[in-house]
Structure 1
Amino acid sequence: MKKIILPLVVILVFGISIYSVVDYNKNKSKDSDIAIKENSKTNSTGANTSTSTVKDSASANPSSTMKSTDADKIAALNFKLTDLNGKEVSLSDFKGKKVFLNFWASWCPPCKAEMPDIEKLYGQTKDSDLVILAVNIGDAKTTAKSFIDNNKYNFTVLLDSDQSIATKYNIVAIPTSFFINKEGNIVSTIKGGMTLEQMKINISKL
Structure 2
Amino acid sequence: MNKKTFHIILGIMTSLVLITGISLYALGNQVNELKTENTPLTEPDYTDSKTEIQALGKTDAVFKNAKGEKIVLKDIRNKVIFINMWATWCPPCKKEMPSLNNLYNKLKSNPNIVFIMMDVDGKLKQSTSYIKEKGFSLPNYIVEGNLPEEFSTNSIPTTIIIDKSGKMVTKHIGGVDFDHPEMLPFIQNLLK
Normalization by structure 1: what TM-score?
Answer: 0.61
| Letter matched to residue 70 of structure 1 | D
1:203 aligns to 2:187 (yes or no): yes
> Which of 133, 139, 143 does residue 126 from structure 2 map onto?
143
- Provide the residue aligned with 2:36 in structure 1: 59
1:134 aligns to 2:117 (yes or no): yes
- Provide the residue aligned with 1:81 in structure 2: 63
> Which of 73, 76, 88 does residue 106 from structure 1 map onto?
88
- Provide the residue aligned with 2:18 in structure 1: none
Partner of 1:134, secondary structure, is strand
Distance of aligned partners of 1:120 and 1:66 in 2 relative to their CA distance in 1, 3 Å threshold: closer
Q: Quick one: percent identity of the two aligned structures?
A: 26
Partners of 2:46 and 2:169 within 8 A in 1: no
- Provide the residue aligned with 1:185 in structure 2: 167
- Provide the residue aligned with 2:106 in structure 1: 124
1:92 aligns to 2:69 (yes or no): no
Structure 2: runs of 5 or more not aligned: 1-24
Partners of 1:62 and 1:192 within 8 A in 2: no
Distance of aligned partners of 1:156 and 1:171 in 2 relative to their CA distance in 1, 3 Å threshold: same
Normalization by structure 2: what TM-score?
Answer: 0.65
Partner of 1:122, secondary structure, is helix
Distance of aligned partners of 1:166 and 1:107 in 2 relative to their CA distance in 1, 3 Å threshold: farther
CA shift, 1:182, in A, is 0.9
RMSD: 3.2
Query: Higher helix proportion, which one?
Result: 1
1:70 aligns to 2:32 (yes or no): no
| Letter matched to residue 200 of structure 1 | L
Distance 1:161 1:57 in 2: 31
User: How many residues of Structure 1 are paired with residues of Structure 2 in the alignment?
Assistant: 152
Distance of aligned partners of 1:202 and 1:110 in 2 relative to their CA distance in 1, 3 Å threshold: farther
